[in-house]
Amino acid sequence: MMVNSWELFLKAEILDALGSEKVFYKNGKSISISDALPLRLQNNDPVKLNIETLIQLRDQATHLLIPELQPQLSRLFQANVLNYQERYRNQMGNSPLAGQSVGMLSLVLDGPEPEIGVIKECYGDITASEVTSFLKQFESNSKEIDSDKYSISIDYKLALTKNPSNADLTLSVGDNGQQAVIITQAKDLNTTHPHTTNEAIDKINSELGSKEVNRHSFQAICFKHKVKQNNNSPHHNFTDIHRYSESFVAWVVKNIKEQKGWLPTALVCYKNRKNAC
C-alpha cells in the first residue's frame, strides 16, 4: 500500500511537471514506480533509496515480512510514512489527512537481533539464508546512507515540531532515551496563528489594498523564506493544517511595500526551486 501511494503521487507530480507523455505509453498503460522515481528523485536521495527497498520487499521478498524482522522493518516503514507526509505537505500545502490527527502509524520498535537458528527452524533454510542476507544489506545501507529518511535510527526523537527545543511533546526510543517529561502550556491556535492559507492571503491583500498575492505567490514567499520549515514558529504553525500569525501577515505586507523586488525575487526562486536559490 505504501508503494502504491508513492506511485500514484509521483505520477501526479510528473503529469503536472512534465506532461502526460511522460506518464502514459501509446497503448494507454502508465509507467511503473521504478520508472517514475528517477524522474522526481536523485539517485542518492535517501527517500528514493527507502522507496526502492520497499519495492524490493514487495516484489521479491514478501516472505521476509515476518514478525522476527519487525524491529528492522518498522524503521524502514516509519521513515517512509514520514517522507510521504512531508512531500505531500510540501506539494499540496496540507497533510494527506488534513483535519484529522494522523500521528505516527507506529513508533519505531527496538528489539533483539533475529535468531537465525529459530528462523531456520520455523521457516526453513531458504528464508533463513535470505534473512541473513537482508539484515547484512540493511545494516550496511543504513550506515552508508546515514539518514533518518532512509531508516529511522533507534535513538531518533519524534517531536511535534522540527526543533525539539520548541516541542510540546518529545518522544525518544532506546536504552539512552531521555526521561519523559511533559510540561506544556496549552496554545490556542485561533489566537497565536489565526489565519489559514486563504485567510492569510485575503488579509495580506486587504492590507496592501490590492490583490497582489495569490496562492502561487504566497507559496513562493513561504518557499523562498523557508517559512514552513518550522512547524511551530512565530510566523507559522502546522498541526492539522497550515496556519499563519498576524506577525507573518504584517511581515509580508511590510516587505512588499518597502522592497520593490521582494515578491518578484520570491517568484523567481520558486520557479527555479529545483536549483538552489
**Residue 85: pLDDT above 80?**
yes
**pTM, rounded to two decimals:** 0.54
Provide the 3-class DSSP secondary structure of residue 69: helix
Question: With contact defined as beta carbons under 8 Å apart, do 2 and 81 qualify?
Answer: yes
Comparing 151 with 114, which gets the higher pLDDT? 151
What tens digit of pLDDT does each residue of 10-38 get? 999 999 888 999 999 888 899 999 999 99
The predicted-structure confidence for 185-226, as pLDDT tens digits, reads as follows 446 777 889 999 999 999 999 999 999 999 999 999 999 999
Q: Give the 3-state secondary structure of residue 276.
A: coil
Asked whether the predicted pLDDT for residue 74 surpasses 80, the reply is yes
Min mean pLDDT across 53-57, 98-102, 239-243 is at 98-102
What average pLDDT is seen over the chain?
82
The whole-angstrom separation of Cα 49 and Cα 41 is: 10
88-100 per-position pLDDT tens digit: 888 887 777 655 5
Using pLDDT thresholds of 50, 70 and 90, give the confidence band for residue 183: very low
Alpha helices in the chain (DSSP H): 2-18, 33-40, 46-60, 70-92, 116-123, 125-145, 189-192, 197-208, 215-224, 246-258, 262-271
CA within 13 Å, CB half, 78? 23
The residues spanned by each domain of the chain are 41-152, 154-184, 189-271
Q: What is the mean pLDDT of residues 179-184?
A: 43
pLDDT of 56 above 80: yes
Higher pLDDT pick, 248 / 183: 248
